[in-house]
């Protein structure tokens, strides 16, 4: 079956760094997405990885290892506004997104 696993909740301190992990199992693979979702709002796109390695985009970076079925989202210099849920989603061979349940990130001052 198809499955995405990510931690339910994480807590970090303002200004610090946090890494949110995601493991996936899909029928075929056409890339791994990370989305940010604030409560009551739709997800917003953060990153896309289809090749192994690290993609850096400002304070956010995303890593992919296809052989391990593993990805992480790295957030640096955390700000209070980064408090949100972070959704990992893998695209299968039919180009459909398989969603994780999301990781709620709590930022403390």
Residues that bind other proteins (CB under 8 A): 4, 30-31, 40-45, 48, 50, 87, 91, 95-97, 99-102, 104
Give the shortest CB-99-to-other proteins separation in angstroms. 4
* Residue position matching structure tokens 């990130």: 105
Nearest approach, Cβ of residue 59 and other proteins (Å): 19
CB of 100 to other proteins, least distance (A): 6
| Tokens 């996936």 sit on residue | 24
Q: How far is CA 30 from the centre of its chain?
A: 16
Of residues 74 and 97, the one with the C-beta less far from other proteins: 97
The answer for 15, left when phi > 0, alpha when psi is -120 to 50, beta otherwise, is left
């Amino acid at each position: 079956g198809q499955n995405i696993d990510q931690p339910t909740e994480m807590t970090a301190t303002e200004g610090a760094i946090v890494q949110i992990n995601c493991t996936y199992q899909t029928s075929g693979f056409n890339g791994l997405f990370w989305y940010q979702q604030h409560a009551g709002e739709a997800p917003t796109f953060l990153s896309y990885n289809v090749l192994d390695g690290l993609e850096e985009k400002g304070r956010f970076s995303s890593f992919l290892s296809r052989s391990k079925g593993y990805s992480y989202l790295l957030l640096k210099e955390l700000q209070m506004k980064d408090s949100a849920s972070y959704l990992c989603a893998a695209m299968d061979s039919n180009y459909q997104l398989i969603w994780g349940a999301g990781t709620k990130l709590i930022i403390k001052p």
